[in-house]
Homo-oligomer: A and B are copies of this chain.
Amino acid sequence: MLDVRRLHLLRELDRRGTIAAVAEALTFTASAVSQQLGVLEREAGVPLLERSGRRVILTPAGRSLVAHADAVLNRLEQAAAELAGARDGIGGPLRIGTFPSGGHTIVPAALAELARRHPALEPTVREIESARVSDGLRAGELDVALVHDYDFVPATPDTTVDEVPLLEEPMYLVSPAGGEAMSAGEAEALRTGGAEALRTGGAEALRTGEAAAKSGSGDTLAALLGPCAEVPWITARDGTTGHAMAVRACQAAGFQPRIRHQVNDFRTVLALVAAGQGAGFVPEMAAVPSPAGVMLTKLPLFRRSKVAFRAGGGAHPAIAAFVAAATTAVDVMAGSGGRVRNPA
């Protein structure tokens, strides 16, 4: 019988690219991983890896074996979740990952709700970029995470992670409050009306580039972003999905953004724009309460927040409890402020 631990190593190798990375993630030495993969290969009777430069890559047989490994490990996760559900009481540590802006919006509310309903749970929050969440979950460093993706930055399908949608919110262009400045009241009116686009499923059609042309209010992305084509831009840090979203949105609007500042914190983006340093993007959640000194323009461009966890783990009581708490938190925020909305 194929050894599942070895299949696990093979899967991690497929995901992380090098034996050294696998070893580090699973706190082994590279030697141990190399040996075990060697045994797996011998047992399989088929070459699973081949050297490529100074690393190894999977052969087609190896990749197909990884697909089986995914299925097996997912099912084991499911079994473990079910067992956890059979144990009475929800408690123990729960390691939560979150993208930075989630840390001061959804997470605190969700934690409060979680503590109210399951006092025995010991949640631990760690900030983490969405791109690294999958690795963190698989390595067992995280149990659950808040992640997001943007239009123009398609989330790569990942069979090792399951996701529950939490929130879909429009992005805003933040530009210096200058000539055609918009008052806070005007911005609020725009926001309220814009909720309609969300409900009619317009966001779904906007995920691809060309679809951005048909904006609900008749304003195309090009028309909305165009005035800022020559302005310096403030985007999220290089390598993040927020950065990629900003660049591609501007490209879709027909220009290449001149990026001057790179900061991930949306409050800093707002402050920089207010200081006349350029234009940027913020999600609706960061746009309310309406900050002073900047102009906000709702864009036909959405950010989707989700709860992610190891594939098969959805039935785990602590995971389910967190999903419920996060959903409640989002619903409460949506109900009180009228500014965000649960897509479910």
Residue numbers of A with Cβ under 8 A of B are 1-2, 4-5, 7-8, 44-46, 61, 64-65, 68-69, 71-73, 75-76, 78-80, 82-84, 86-87
Minimum distance in angstroms from A58 CB to a CB of chain B: 13
Q: Which of B65, B76, B87 contacts A83 (CB 8 A)?
A: B65
State whether B68 touches A79 (Cβ < 8 A). Answer: yes
State whether A80 touches B1 (Cβ < 8 A). Answer: yes
Chain B residue at smallest Cβ distance from A64: B82
Q: What are the nearest 8 A-B pairs in CB distance?
A: A68-B79, A46-B86, A4-B4, A61-B86, A45-B87, A44-B83, A71-B75, A72-B75
Minimum distance in angstroms from A11 CB to a CB of chain B: 12
The answer to whether residues A79 and B45 also contact, given A61-B86, A72-B72, A86-B61 and a CB cut-off of 8 A, is no
Q: Which of B7, B68, B87 contacts A82 (CB 8 A)?
A: B68
State whether A2 touches B44 (Cβ < 8 A). Answer: no
Question: Interface SS of chain A: helix, strand, loop or mixed?
Answer: helix
State whether B76 touches A46 (Cβ < 8 A). Answer: no
Which residues from B are CB-within-8-Å of A87? Answer: 45-46
Minimum distance in angstroms from A6 CB to a CB of chain B: 11
Task: A65 to B84: give the CA distance in the assembly, Å.
Answer: 12
State whether B79 touches A2 (Cβ < 8 A). Answer: yes
Which residues from B are CB-within-8-Å of A1? Answer: 4-5, 8, 73, 76, 80
The answer to whether residues A2 and B76 also contact, given A65-B83, A82-B64 and a CB cut-off of 8 A, is yes
Task: A342 to B13: give the CA distance in the assembly, Å.
Answer: 46
Task: A46 to B4: give the CA distance in the assembly, Å.
Answer: 23
Cross-chain pairs A/B with CB under 8 angstroms, 20 sampled: A1-B4, A1-B5, A2-B79, A4-B4, A4-B72, A7-B79, A44-B83, A45-B83, A46-B83, A61-B83, A64-B82, A65-B79, A68-B75, A68-B76, A68-B79, A69-B79, A71-B75, A72-B72, A72-B76, A72-B79
Task: A72 to B1: give the CA distance in the assembly, Å.
Answer: 11
Minimum distance in angstroms from A329 CB to a CB of chain B: 29
Task: A65 to B87: give the CA distance in the assembly, Å.
Answer: 13
Chain B residue at smallest Cβ distance from A3: B4
Minimum distance in angstroms from A47 CB to a CB of chain B: 9
Which residues from B are CB-within-8-Å of A73? Answer: 1
Task: A44 to B83: give the CA distance in the assembly, Å.
Answer: 6
Chain B residue at smallest Cβ distance from A1: B76
Minimum distance in angstroms from A191 CB to a CB of chain B: 47
Which residues from B are CB-within-8-Å of A83? Answer: 44-46, 61, 65
- Kindly list 13 other residue pairs between chains A and B, CB separation below 8 angstroms, not including A4-B72, A68-B75: A1-B76, A1-B80, A2-B76, A2-B79, A4-B76, A7-B79, A46-B83, A61-B83, A61-B86, A65-B79, A65-B82, A68-B76, A69-B79
Task: A71 to B312: give the CA distance in the assembly, Å.
Answer: 13
Chain B residue at smallest Cβ distance from A79: B68
State whether A78 touches B82 (Cβ < 8 A). Answer: no
Task: A76 to B75: give the CA distance in the assembly, Å.
Answer: 11
Most buried by B among A1, A7, A45, A87: A1
Task: A2 to B83: give the CA distance in the assembly, Å.
Answer: 10
